[in-house]
Amino acid sequence: MTAMKHHGLCLDDALAILERTPASLSALLKSLPDTWVRATEGDGTWSPYDVIGHLIHGERTDWMVRARHILAGETRPFDPFDRTAQFTESQGKSLDELLVSFAGLRRENIAALVEMNLTEDDLLRRGLHPELGGVTLEQLLSTWVVHDLDHIAQIARTMAKVYTEATGPWSAYLSILRDRQR
């Protein structure tokens, strides 16, 4: 695929992140004790386990489904995304199973995205988000990348906070411990 840049999105650069996310998360989380993978930042926040389930749900129902919706010229809004589906869909599965599932789904979605052979005109095509209104394919794909990075940061922050008290006075130097609570 050739490098294509339009309004900030370079598809090759986006793919570089999207392709690496499963391996990055697997390297960070695979076979870790529950202390790390079930940690949260408090009531109503997600553990790394929950985040992986959320990413899987997105691979199945969000990014490529919405990209196809836009490219098909659909005028109806996207189906709403269930941000908490992972709490039922992940039940009974180990984190390692979820990581394998995420990697397989992401590989399939990357292959499908590359097969679309998107043009600059395609990136300007519009869809209708149920809450945000009109969005472009470029915005959807850019959001997919930033969504990955946001959740990678969330996982690292959640894990770091397991040792907030244990760091003692050094916590004053560790900005990751002061980040947002959600």
Sign of CA dihedral 81, 82, 85, 87: positive
Q: What is the pTM (predicted TM-score) of this model?
A: 0.92
pLDDT the model gives residue 180: 62
Q: Provide the pLDDT for residue 6.
A: 45
Give the model's pLDDT for residue 4: 53
CA triple 18-127-20, angle to 5 deg: 0
Half-sphere exposure (Cβ direction) of 154: Cα atoms closer than 13 Å: 21
**Can you give the pLDDT at residue 5?**
47
| pLDDT tens track, the chain, 182 positions | 555 544 589 999 999 999 999 999 999 999 999 999 999 999 999 999 999 999 999 999 999 999 999 999 999 999 999 888 898 999 999 999 999 999 999 999 999 999 999 999 999 999 999 999 999 999 999 999 999 999 999 999 999 999 999 999 999 999 999 866 54
Q: Exposed, middle or buried: residue 12 (CB in 10 Å: 0-12, 13-18, 19+)?
A: exposed
Given its phi and psi angles, is residue 42 left (phi above 0), alpha (psi -120 to 50 degrees) or beta?
A: left
